[in-house]
Amino acid sequence: MTALRFVVSNTPGNNLFYTRMAADYLFLYELQEAMNPGYLRRMERKAEEERGQEWWLRPSEVVN
């Protein structure tokens, strides 16, 4: 997980909000879920409970 975080944080152009969002939904959520099953549901639940965040497209809906 630390290696993935390192690669993502050092990817050129990843600091632009639209490229980061695209990378998240295209492959990073799938990779995180494969490495740690149930991660996305826990992340969604925590964001809803702590910050009251609502989702337009849930990350867990994107992952197969």
pLDDT of residue 50: 96
Residue 9 has pLDDT above 90, yes or no: no
The torsion angle over the Cα atoms of residues 48, 54, 60 and 62, rounded to 10 degrees, is: -160
pLDDT band per the 50, 70, 90 thresholds, residue 8 = confident
Kindly report the pTM of this predicted structure: 0.77
List, for residues 32-44, the tens digit of each pLDDT value: 999 999 999 999 9
pLDDT of residue 5: 84
- Average pLDDT over the chain reads 89
For the chain, give every domain's residue range.
13-62
